[in-house]
Amino acid sequence: MNPGNVNMNNMMYNTNFVNVPGGFNAGAQQGGIGHHADPNSPRLFTENLANVLTEVFVLRDLATEALKGIQGAYHASHLPSNTAHVIAELKLALESLMSILRSSGVGALPLLPTPPVSGATPTATAGSANAGPTQPVVPTEAQLLAEANTMVKVLYDTLGKKQESASVVANLLAVEQTSRGAK
């Protein structure tokens, strides 16, 4: 397999980051999209999303490695310089991901939580059912609407309580003002 390609969910995605600020591949040299491709095309969006996912997986692996280095800091065989190097790589990977998210437009999408995997082991092989990232649970339109309605109701109730409190304070101040004026 070409080192510039990643196989995710039986689809090949190009991970050569060229021609866009921050090292992002807009498809100008790969896949026949052309230099003046429509920035809103589904194919370009799919490539952008694949590139972001690849960067997220790299970031996750570096974060795990850095955490292991920090947790093993007091072991005799541990070298702090290795952990410092991994943390520096992690910072660079985070900057790269931020740049890709900004330049691709994928960063404007909401993040969906992934469900916990029951019975997953860290030594899962590539052929096992537990290998690879779990897919996020995409809420239905009805669930999104119910959640939005709940949030609006909570905000409305909060605003109502604040207005009631403000009116009580205003009434107390008005009573105090009139009592001072009567003296």
32-56 pLDDT tens trace = 444 556 777 888 888 988 999 999 9
Residue 95 has pLDDT above 70, yes or no: yes
Angle between helices 42-71 and 80-104 (to 10 degrees): 160
Residue 28 has pLDDT above 60, yes or no: no
Q: Are residues 105 and 170 in the same domain?
A: no
Contact 83, 70 (CB under 8 A): yes
How many beta carbons lie within 10 A of that of residue 130, not counting itself? 14
Q: Note whether residue 94 is domain-resident.
A: yes
Q: For residue 61, what pLDDT band results from cuts at 50, 70 and 90?
A: very high
Q: Are residues 100 and 170 in the same domain?
A: no
Q: Are residues 103 and 15 in the same domain?
A: yes
Domain membership of residue 85 as a residue range: 1-110
pLDDT above 70 coverage of the chain, percent: 66
Residue 9 has pLDDT above 50, yes or no: no
pLDDT above 90 coverage of the chain, percent: 37
**pLDDT, mean of residues 74-88:** 91
**pLDDT, mean of residues 116-139:** 57
**11-27 burial, b for 16+ CB within 10 Å, e for fewer?**
eebbbebeebeeebbbb
Domains identified in the chain, total number: 2
Report the first-to-last Cα separation within the chain, whole angstroms: 92
Q: Note whether residue 131 is domain-resident.
A: no
Mean pLDDT of the chain: 76
Q: Are residues 2 and 74 in the same domain?
A: yes
Q: Are residues 3 and 71 in the same domain?
A: yes
The more confident residue out of 85 and 23 is 85
**pLDDT, mean of residues 11-18:** 41
The more confident residue out of 4 and 71 is 71
Q: Note whether residue 132 is domain-resident.
A: no
